[in-house]
Structure 1
Amino acid sequence: MSALGAVQPAEAAGGTRAERGDRESLFRPLSAEDGEQLPAEIESLCMNCFQNGVTRLLLTRIPFFKEIIVSSFSCDSCCWSNTEIQSAGRVQEQGVRYRLAVTSRQDMDRQVVKTDCATATIPELDFEIPPFTQRGVLTTVEGIIDRAIAGLEQDQPIRRATDEGVAQKIEEFIGRLRQLKEAQSPFTLVIDDPSGNSFVENPRAPQRDDALVVTRYRRSPQQAAALGLQGEELEEPAEPAEDLHNEVLQFNTNCPECNAPAHTNMKLVQIPHFKEVIIMATNCESCGHRTNEVKSGGAIEPQGTRITLRITDPSDMTRDVLKSETCSVEIPELEFELGMGALGGKFTTLEGLLKDVRDLVERNPFTLGDSSAPDRTQKLQEFIGKLQEIIEGQRTAHFVMDDPAGNSYLQNVFAPEQDPEMQVQHYERTFQQNEDLGLNDMKTEGYEEETGSR
């Protein structure tokens, strides 16, 4: 444990570009076979027999995820072994919940990163692995079930001797887990991690996986306290100034890349024929990281909005685009869908948004080096080539923005007249969309009367 603690500050403190370059060379893609990355071996005490064993540390990078530290301990004296993982980054700004529908044997081989603060549940069996009861682990869906079976079988001999009835019920439950392991019946695996550092593999990336639903949420005060973040409080919004449209506000924050002190600039902008939005930009002088984010300046619209643009001319790439955090993007001709929350909120051009999508795919380790599968790499390269043709105006395609909150925007160059290549549809949100936006439990009518009667 002391070795893991010694590695983390080096990651957190690496703010300069040189240090970030060293970090890239340290954290190599998972399953890389270049022969250069060997685990560091540290002699450490075995807590089972109190003899000296060996701890091996491997710094690796999960494709489409982030850097992690894999720790493996083995003792030659008593043959005891233990494996765990630890995130090489910091606690994320939001928690994450993965909901996977396991229907085939292939789903059992999906990679899973489960941190020690994550909760794993199987609703069909009413089974739950509570947080902080297991060490963090890099495994598969099958491995999660194997660990559960091993944990239940550990004390079975004692139960059979003291309470045969309880032992029999647990044996029956273990049998049901074994049936799930053999994929004899479909089930659902839910990984809920308030730290945001758990992960379930999407083998179809960068395309959408219909069997996997990823939801990001704001931590509750109880979850923040369990993570040691008692000081985490929501900032109260500042009172609007009279000249807010002509003023750029600045406040102190930390860089999301190196955690060094930085400044965030914020400005209220009125988009013609749309509404007010808040643009925030952060520039870190320590590592050079830059990021921008767009928030809607108004409330959630009564209806969702679906905007469809047929890209027919290179001039379409210059259209202004406001993509909110709740907006998903589709390109039907490429069978591509970018879900809610991906890339965050952005105010850019259509060309800039498509380039961000291209960079998101190109940066993934699945397209590079020994960690990539040949068939998957070929599909990704074909996708990047077709996307580049759309950006350069060599291919026609449909660009679809679906925002259930109604806070996204695509410029109409013929405004106030109707754009013949663009279609805007307003629709009633489904119950699940209202649930994702937190509207089902929000009371907005008769609130003042109810409060006055009290």
Structure 2
Amino acid sequence: MENMGTYDDSNVDVGSVVEAICLDDVDTPLYKVESLCMRCGENGMTNFLLTLIPNFRKILLSAFECPHCGERNNEVQFAGEIQPRGCRYQLNVQSGDLKMLNRQIVKAELATIKIPELDFEIPPEAQRGSLSTVEGILLRAADGLDVLQEERKKVDPKTAEAIELFLVKLRACATGKLSFTFILDDPAGNSYIENIFAPSMDPSMNIKFYERTLEQQAALGYLSDSSKTAEGAEQKFSVENKDTPSTATTEPHGSVGAAAAGRKAIAEGSSAEMVEALFRYSAPEEVMTFPSSCGVCANQCETRMFVTHIPYFQEVIVMASTCDGCGYRNSELKAGGSIPAKGKKITVSIKNVTDLSRDVIKSDTAGVIIPELDLELASGTMGGLVTTVEGLVTKINENLERVHGFTFGDSLDGNRKTRWQDFRDRLNRLLSIEEPWTLIIDDALANSFVAPATDDINDDKQLKFEEYERSWDQNEDLGLNDMDTSSADAAYDSINLSSKN
């Protein structure tokens, strides 16, 4: 860890530590607070340190030590905000690979750890927030189970024998003798597993971000009634809105001037970048407003929606919502129409500054490839974006720095630090156009788009669109293999037949 202060003041109160969280200065001193030892009842000492993990986020480390009985423990708390979505890391650890076991782990307080091969789960209450490694977490869990083994042998020998056999397997995993899958699931989105291949993709690790359920929102303190279920929330929503018309209300296009109503309505719930990019094409004729529920706090809010057409692309639906209760804002861009029969790969050659200003629509199913950097982002990375080529590269840089934490910590070896710094410099050089480079957007649903630099898209020789047949695996990931539309097709055919007669 960096910036380990040496300040020592036993009279500093906890309020000073809380105030330090709000400071931008990372050279925060080390605070010491006298605390009660829960083992012997005497007073021990708790050390607090606010530190910034480079390219991750600000955390508060606390370490307790009792000089009377030797009790020691430590904990990690996050000083920043809860992330908009939860995260799930899945790491495949092969036997004999000690580097995998040495990966650093940031486990938040509400995170759950699972090992499916052992049918083993560490719930949030079993291990508090910690900064450790894969090996350290497994050995700590094994030691925790082993503490009461002598008592178990006296009371329930069969259970004690089963746990003894399990501990052998768990310690075998911790020492690299067995292959296993290490899953870290955190609804707050603040946990992290180190990527030793950064900035490249990690072939052994899979990262997914997801929307939290109502139960997870309640655990994070967003819901006042933790017993509220999805069904109950749905029933409450129906009762509260029984007088609300089922059809969406619309704002007249000319009420506050041409396109002004649409601009204002979308801007209230969307980023300025998205609004500016979308209105280059056409202004919406009407903005529809309908009631919905906040995805974070589940309170009632309004969602605004409009449909606009992008030349050479298709109709798109823009949905933006903002919650007055918690302040959460969300904007989404959805493609209109049916699911395309083929996927699409867009290749654009970037040669000058004008190319950096090309508008880009990247859907949440699209992957991004830059061959010159050997960079490949899997589909779904960064979600859906409405930006420019320059903005896309900038967001890639920011996203890599956020996901690949511990990049510049003092525990990182020199070769990996140099490799990451070199990659970041090369990524930044793309924006200076020192040499031509290629941007490839591969979207299995063909919902992404790069704007041409000429009035006629056929005259743009630097822009290339390719359609391809989706593989079975791609259809499986998109849920298309299990989609059965035979009943709907039969209904449409019967309607068309009766209309002709």
Same fold (TM over 0.5): yes
Residues 62-91 of structure 1 show CA distances to partners (whole Å, capped at 9, x for unaligned) of: 333222111111111111111111121233
Matched, 1:49 2:46: no
Q: CA 1:77–1:238 in 2, change beyond 3 Å: closer, same or farther?
A: farther
Structure 1 equivalent of residue 25 of structure 2 = 25
**1:89 counterpart (80, 83, 90):** 80
Matched, 1:335 2:374: yes
Structure 2 equivalent of residue 243 of structure 1 = 253
Structure 2 equivalent of residue 72 of structure 1 = 63
Q: CA 1:197–1:300 in 2, change beyond 3 Å: closer, same or farther?
A: farther
Distance 2:373 2:319 in 1: 31
Q: State the Cα distance separating 1:97 from its structure 2 match.
A: 0.6
Q: State the Cα distance separating 1:380 from its structure 2 match.
A: 2.8
Identical-residue share of aligned pairs (%): 39
Matched, 1:422 2:432: no
User: SS in structure 1 opposite 2:80?
Assistant: coil
Matched, 1:60 2:51: yes
Higher mean displacement: 141-150 or 404-413? 404-413
Distance 2:113 2:442 in 1: 31
Q: State the Cα distance separating 1:342 from its structure 2 match.
A: 4.4
Residues 94 and 194 in structure 1, CA contact (< 8 A), matched pair in contact too: yes
Residues 325 and 341 in structure 1, CA contact (< 8 A), matched pair in contact too: yes
Residues 5-55 of structure 1 show CA distances to partners (whole Å, capped at 9, x for unaligned) of: 9856875xxxxxxx6xx3x313xxxxxxxxx55421111111111111111
Q: CA 1:220–1:48 in 2, change beyond 3 Å: closer, same or farther?
A: same
Residues 290-332 of structure 1 show CA distances to partners (whole Å, capped at 9, x for unaligned) of: x996522536733433222233455432322112333221112
Structure 1 equivalent of residue 495 of structure 2 = none
* AA at the equivalent of 2:86: G
Q: Where in structure 2 are the equivalents of 1:135-150 lying within 5 Å?
A: 135-150=128-143
Q: Where in structure 2 are the equivalents of 1:284-295 lying within 5 Å?
A: 295=333
User: SS in structure 2 opposite 1:272?
Assistant: coil
Structure 2 equivalent of residue 408 of structure 1 = 448
Residues 121 and 129 in structure 1, CA contact (< 8 A), matched pair in contact too: yes
**1:324 counterpart (342, 363, 368):** 363
Residues 116 and 133 in structure 1, CA contact (< 8 A), matched pair in contact too: no
* AA at the equivalent of 1:424: F
Residues 114 and 183 in structure 2, CA contact (< 8 A), matched pair in contact too: yes
Unaligned runs of 5+ in 1: 12-18, 27-35, 256-263, 284-290
Q: TM-score, normalising length from structure 1?
A: 0.77
Residues 305 and 405 in structure 1, CA contact (< 8 A), matched pair in contact too: yes
Distance 1:328 1:202 in 2: 19
* AA at the equivalent of 1:156: Q
Residues 300 and 406 in structure 1, CA contact (< 8 A), matched pair in contact too: no
User: SS in structure 2 opposite 1:106?
Assistant: helix
Distance 1:174 1:376 in 2: 35
Distance 1:145 1:437 in 2: 35
Q: State the Cα distance separating 1:132 from its structure 2 match.
A: 2.7
User: SS in structure 1 opposite 2:349?
Assistant: strand
Residues 59 and 70 in structure 1, CA contact (< 8 A), matched pair in contact too: yes
Q: What RMSD in Å do the two structures reach over aligned CA positions?
A: 4.0
Distance 1:180 1:46 in 2: 33
Q: State the Cα distance separating 1:150 from its structure 2 match.
A: 1.0
Distance 2:490 2:150 in 1: 63
Residues 322 and 348 in structure 1, CA contact (< 8 A), matched pair in contact too: yes
Distance 1:280 1:202 in 2: 34
Distance 1:90 1:388 in 2: 28
Q: CA 1:242–1:272 in 2, change beyond 3 Å: closer, same or farther?
A: farther
Matched, 1:384 2:424: yes
Distance 1:49 1:323 in 2: 59
User: SS in structure 2 opposite 1:165?
Assistant: helix
Q: State the Cα distance separating 1:432 from its structure 2 match.
A: 5.7
Q: TM-score, normalising length from structure 2?
A: 0.71
Q: Where in structure 2 are the equivalents of 1:249-398 lying within 5 Å?
A: 249=265, 269-277=308-316, 295-298=333-336, 301-302=339-340, 303-358=342-397, 373-398=413-438
Matched, 1:446 2:481: no
Residues 293 and 345 in structure 1, CA contact (< 8 A), matched pair in contact too: no
Residues 293 and 346 in structure 1, CA contact (< 8 A), matched pair in contact too: no
Distance 1:268 1:390 in 2: 34
* AA at the equivalent of 1:345: G
User: SS in structure 2 opposite 1:386?
Assistant: helix
Structure 2 equivalent of residue 399 of structure 1 = 439
Residues 100 and 212 in structure 1, CA contact (< 8 A), matched pair in contact too: yes
User: SS in structure 2 opposite 1:65?
Assistant: coil
Q: CA 1:439–1:346 in 2, change beyond 3 Å: closer, same or farther?
A: same
The structure that has the greater radius of gyration is 2
Q: CA 1:10–1:273 in 2, change beyond 3 Å: closer, same or farther?
A: farther
Structure 2 equivalent of residue 157 of structure 1 = 150
